[in-house]
Amino acid sequence: MAKQLGYPCTDVIPLTQDASARKYFRLNLKPSKKSLAEGFLESETAIFCYLNPNLGSHKNFIHVCNHIDIGPKILEYDLELGVTIQTDVGKYNFAQAHDAWMNRYYELSAAGEFHEEEGSSEFLGELYSGAFEIYPLFRNEGKRLLKDFVNSKIPKLKKISDKKLLSQMQMFQKIFLKKFLGFKSKNKEIIGEIEALQKETLKELKKQKWVNCHTDFEYRNIMVSGIDELRLDCSLIDFQDTCIGPEGIDLAGISVVHSEDFKFHHRLSVENRKKITWGGIQRNMRILGTLANLYIEHKRGFRLKDLPMILSNLECMIPDNHKSKFFISEQLKPLLNKKLLDI
């Protein structure tokens, strides 16, 4: 299909799937009139994305990409075929880049040499010494990208409805609790407490400023294509669910990392703590349901390892006056651990 759209290639490399039905491939491009016109060289690459048209559309993704400067450029697309060809904005997301650079640092350090293409020795040295932490760097770059994204002029973005925000949260009890964990209880008070928390979350989200909302603004969706001293050349990807929504959802995305315990930064304002709290509750409930469903319906378990931390961070964000906080700690955590051992 790539050749049909004017981008013949010498090699096609399947990429790791995300939590959607999209399939991604890296194309090693052959010189062609079209690729040369776009400024590609013989050795350059592009990203091919396929989505079965019966399962969804690239329309929103293409629309957003055409109005921002911090993501991939759409080179070609065919909505009937369900295909887009995009510029390649990097082989590694932020966490992968850190691991790759650290491994390379050890190799170069042992050999007593550094090469420019591997990145600044000063930067790598800072990482190695522990003087420069990876996630503060991510958050700084994340904040910059988020600010640029929110300030982008994207016309005709749809506003996410209250009903959808609530239904996304309800995936927590309908899919994660009942279908995945097999949770059964005659105690209706527990489910009632969860529903009350979700209604309060929706109420608080409606009070926030509503802006361009990516809905999945996290380090897995920040790609790194280069490094210059202590700055990273980063791009944002996966715009398909972009809408107008509460700003707390994306603030939570760059603040609550699925691989580490969440703690509020001591300099964070009370207002931003509230935004992240309610945005994080909505986001983490939605993600727990989404990842559980991914395993139930498609047997894709590559994100199951993240579930304990996502659940733990959800518990952390729930205000102390909610009984659902105790329920997660005393009942759901042990149940989840047992479930993962059985898989």
- Residues constituting the chain: 343
Same CATH topology for 9-88 and 135-342? Answer: no
Q: What is the DSSP string of 20-78?
A: SS-EEEEEEEPP-HHHHHTT--TT-EEEEEE--TTT--SHHHHHHHTT-SSSPPEEEEE
Predicted local distance difference test score (pLDDT) of residue 88: 93
Domains of the chain, residue spans: 9-88, 93-129, 135-342
What token pair was written down for 97?
Answer: 């880049």
Looking at CATH, the fold of the domain delimited by 9-88 is given as Phosphorylase Kinase; domain 1 (3.30.200)
How far is 241 from 218, CA to CA, in rounded Å? Answer: 14
Instruction: At 124, list the tokens.
Output: 């790598």
> How many CB atoms neighbour CB 181 within 10 A?
18
| Alpha carbon separation from 263 to 52, 273, 316 (Å, rounded) | 40, 10, 8
Q: What is the pLDDT along the chain (343 residues), one digit of tens a residue?
A: 777 777 788 899 999 777 788 999 999 987 665 555 555 544 589 999 999 999 999 999 999 999 999 999 999 999 999 999 999 998 888 777 766 666 665 665 566 554 444 444 444 444 444 434 555 666 677 788 999 999 999 999 999 999 999 999 999 999 999 999 999 877 788 899 999 999 999 999 999 999 999 999 988 899 987 665 556 788 999 999 999 999 999 999 988 877 777 777 767 788 999 999 999 999 999 999 999 999 999 898 889 999 999 999 999 999 999 999 999 999 999 999 999 999 8
Q: Please say whether the beta carbons of 262 and 314 come within 8 A.
A: no
Pick the closest to residue 280 from 159, 337, 197 (CA basis): 197
Distances in Å between the Cα of 76 and the Cα atoms of 9, 66, 71, 305 are: 14, 12, 15, 36
> Helix, strand, or coil here: 89?
coil
Tell whether the torsion through CA atoms of 277, 254, 57 and 49 is positive or negative.
Answer: negative
Tell me the C-alpha distance between 278 and 265, whole Å.
16
* Side-chain half-sphere exposure of 322, counting CA atoms within 13 A: 24
CA distances from 57 to 6, 126, 227, 254 (A): 21, 43, 34, 26
Please state which CATH number belongs to domain 135-342: 3.90.1200.10
